[in-house]
Amino acid sequence: MADGRLKILTHGCSSYKKPTAFLWNAGYRWSRSGMALSLVGFLLLLQLCFVASGTNAVSGDSQLRVSLSQVEEENSQVHFHRTKRFLQAAKRRQRQPGPATLVDEFLDENSPLRRVFFPEAATAINPVNGDNYYRPGNIWLDTDVNPIQAHGGGVLYDEISSTYYWYGEYRDVPQGSTTGRIDVIGVGCYSSKDLWTWKNEGIVLPADMENKTHDLHISNVLERPRVIYNEITGKYVMWMHIDTGNYSKASVGIAIGDSPTGPFQYLRSLRPHGRDSRDMTVFKDDDGVAYLIYSSQSNSELHIGPLTDDYLDVQPDMQRILVGLRREAPTVFKYQGIYYMITSACTGWAPNEALAHAAESMMGPWETIGDPCIGGTNTFRLAAFLSQSTFVIPLPGSPGSYVFMADRWNPAQLNDSRYVWLPLTVGDPAGPFEFDFGFPSWPRVSIYWHQKWRLPLGRR
């Protein structure tokens, strides 16, 4: 049962020279008290490590690192136990309790592993005195030392200012504080020269607090904002998913601004090509043609179509792709004339397996080339490292190298959702060898799990 296996390695505590493994093995018949004691011991040790790391949050080696590492040996396979806590959680989610999985554990707010999935503030990525390392899943602070609020985000590289702008859902209000589910109070914007140090540029498209009939009223849904620059009009154009609280409006919204930091003026919402549209992204090609990609037909397929020259509408042209596959969270990038897309399955805020797709033309046909995730445990990979794709940032000057951006959603507290940024590469699966696959082979798209990594020196 691959889904129930997890090995946790903690290392980096100053008192440990080698990684220390904590293993649960369903094959061992542990008594309840033995298990409870082990769990308490594990938690205490985990706590100690976190405390140790918290006292010296930026000092590299002494910092706690918790990783989910690949389990090779039969003896180190782990099954999550169907504890009372797990059964209660399954009941709350109105699910039949089957074997507990990593995702079940992740979704359980009372899980003892909560801090592994959502590391505490002391381990935050801090640009003020940090070391340039990305730490996927850790809180990420901006230059004012506040947690970055740019969920479901996308990045624009602005040639004019040679600056990166990160736009995303600004969710910094306690869940349910005003109107229940909806907690996006606008589109947050952050700027950076190095993709690591981010300055808060404010909310560039605020929610409307008064007018209940407005698309941007706080009771509605605003997700996955994307900004592209239009060379013809000199305007920055924002596209986003606009919806009602029950996701029945299923539309895209369009806003326009004179500068990357706005303010953006909201123009309208529409159903592209007359179809329902939920998760979406936009992709601007080398020739200046931009495309809207959106989940449609109740998320059962994706649609792609070019935008008008001013990027303020869609053209009538549209292709249905990945029909019946039920994919969402699309993000597109291009390498050596081939288009690639990463998507997730549709499981609400819960993580699931990522897939990569490729095509020779934006309008298809698109072919699925498999799960791009590499490293970590099997279950961790199959849950896209407990995250969901949102964007892929090209690294100019590093052909075939990208930064994969994903969200580790915290459904119980969406404003504390985390960012999972990882290196993505595109490479030839055949290497230097000569053989014939007998069918068209796409280059391999790889997203590598790293608990800590950074960009090459020249880029920092």
What does the binding site for ligand DGJ look like in residue numbers (CB under 6 A)? 152, 223-224, 279, 328-329, 348-349, 388
Cβ proximity to ligand DGJ: between 13 and 242 the closer is 242
Cβ proximity to ligand DGJ: between 66 and 155 the closer is 155
CA 282 to chain centre: 16
Nearest approach, Cβ of residue 340 and ligand DGJ (Å): 19
Helix (H, G, I), strand (E, B) or coil at 370: strand
For the chain, counts of helices (H) and of strands (E): 5, 24
Nearest approach, Cβ of residue 4 and ligand DGJ (Å): 25
- Residue tagged 């798209």 (tokens): 445
Cβ proximity to ligand DGJ: between 417 and 425 the closer is 417
Pick from 295, 260, 106: nearest CA to 188: 260
Cβ proximity to ligand DGJ: between 8 and 329 the closer is 329
Pick from 375, 383, 386, 361: nearest CA to 453: 375
Cβ proximity to ligand DGJ: between 406 and 426 the closer is 406
Both tokens of residue 80?
């999550």
Cβ proximity to ligand DGJ: between 295 and 377 the closer is 295
Pick from 233, 114, 150, 127: nearest CA to 418: 150
Nearest approach, Cβ of residue 457 and ligand DGJ (Å): 35
Nearest approach, Cβ of residue 221 and ligand DGJ (Å): 7
C-beta nearest to ligand DGJ: residue: 348
Rg (C-alpha) for the chain, rounded Å, is 22
Cβ partners under 8 Å of residue 177, min gap 6 = 183
Nearest approach, Cβ of residue 187 and ligand DGJ (Å): 14
Cβ proximity to ligand DGJ: between 261 and 389 the closer is 389
Measured CA to CA, the distance from residue 331 to residue 340 in angstroms comes to 8
Nearest approach, Cβ of residue 102 and ligand DGJ (Å): 19
CA 301 to chain centre: 20
Cβ proximity to ligand DGJ: between 344 and 401 the closer is 344
Both tokens of residue 15?
């008192």
Measured CA to CA, the distance from residue 177 to residue 183 in angstroms comes to 8
Nearest approach, Cβ of residue 430 and ligand DGJ (Å): 34
Distances (CA, A) of 53 to 65, 123, 248: 9, 7, 45
Backbone CA torsion sign across 319, 285, 393, 192: negative
Cβ proximity to ligand DGJ: between 235 and 326 the closer is 326
Q: How do the residues of the chain divide into helix, strand and coil, expressed in percent and rounded to 5? A: 15, 35, 50
Measured CA to CA, the distance from residue 231 to residue 309 in angstroms comes to 9
Nearest approach, Cβ of residue 420 and ligand DGJ (Å): 14
Region of 364 (left: φ > 0; alpha: ψ -120 to 50; beta: rest) is left
Nearest approach, Cβ of residue 344 and ligand DGJ (Å): 7
